[in-house]
Structure 1
Amino acid sequence: MSTSLTPGQHALLESELQLARRQAHAALQAQRDGGDRLDHAAALVAEDPRELREHEADRELDQIRDAHLVAELQAIDNALERLKQPGFGRCIDCAAAIPFDRLQRQPQALRCVPCQSAAEAAR
């Protein structure tokens, strides 16, 4: 089943996904560089248990941010792979065309709005 995307829309989505990938990758790199500095700071204040707890909490937040960015990169990479397939832009649940304005706002979207709402309600 082919999509209803024009070649120009397809190219625009690919460009937006590539930009989002570069931005997410840069954010992940910055996050990981910041984590290295945080680990070094924690080692310096290890003798004060209160400061160590604060640094551990910061490290946990960094790990959560890291995991979020990794998941975002994976979603972008998956969307770039799907973009190469003829069915890109079709809902994975009902096979209806996902409106271009939705894809433009969220190119990683797998579902049309009604199916996404139903999937979220089922959680």
Structure 2
Amino acid sequence: MSTALTPGQHALLEAELQVARQRVQAALQAQREGATRVAHAAALLADDPHDQREHEADRALDQARDHHLLAELQALDDALARLNTADYGLCTDCGAAIPFDRLHHQPQALRCIDCQTAAEAAH
């Protein structure tokens, strides 16, 4: 555990990460159960091949949502793994301590505000 966090802060962040992880898992499960939309689109395509573009767009959107949820779940899992290491709460770019308020709002944060802003500006 990072020495910058109190035991109470550590417990709070762990609970928040677990809740966020459950929320993302539920959304991912709903998304994948929604894969019937893709099956439905395939069935519609078989009935009406002229709407192929619309069905391909639906499938691409479903895949993008799935990818986003999987990336979010991975970030939460990574944060849970880091939580019990000395690296948790330290900016991966500059090594400065990430303020607790930032971690409280985004416990999977990897960067301090300045480095995150610079990373977003670069992309």
Q: What SS does the corresponding residue of 2:78 show, helix, strand or coil?
A: helix
Aligned ranges 1:35-114 → 2 under 5 Å: 35=35, 37-45=36-44, 46-114=46-114
Quote the Cα distance in structure 1 between the aligned partners of 2:103 and 2:64. Answer: 27
Give me the CA root mean square deviation.
1.6
Once superposed, which parts of structure 1, at least 4 consecutive aligned residues long, lie more than 6 Å away?
A: none
Partner of 1:12: 12
Identity within the alignment, %: 66
Q: What SS does the corresponding residue of 2:34 show, helix, strand or coil?
A: helix
How far residue 47 of structure 1 moved from its aligned partner, in angstroms, is 2.9
Letter in 2 for 1:95: G
Quote the Cα distance in structure 2 between the aligned partners of 1:42 and 1:64. Answer: 16
Cα 1:92–1:43 change in 2 (3 A) is: closer
Q: What SS does the corresponding residue of 2:89 show, helix, strand or coil?
A: coil
Residue segments in structure 2 that go unaligned for 5+ positions in a row: none
How far residue 57 of structure 1 moved from its aligned partner, in angstroms, is 1.2
Q: Deviations over 1:30-56 (max 9, x none)?
A: 001101x12332233213123333222
Name which of structure 1's ranges 39-48 and 85-94 shifts more when overlaid on structure 2. 39-48
Letter in 2 for 1:9: Q
Please report the TM-score for the alignment, with normalisation by the length of structure 2: 0.91
Quote the Cα distance in structure 2 between the aligned partners of 1:50 and 1:13. Answer: 51
Name which of structure 1's ranges 25-34 and 53-62 shifts more when overlaid on structure 2. 53-62
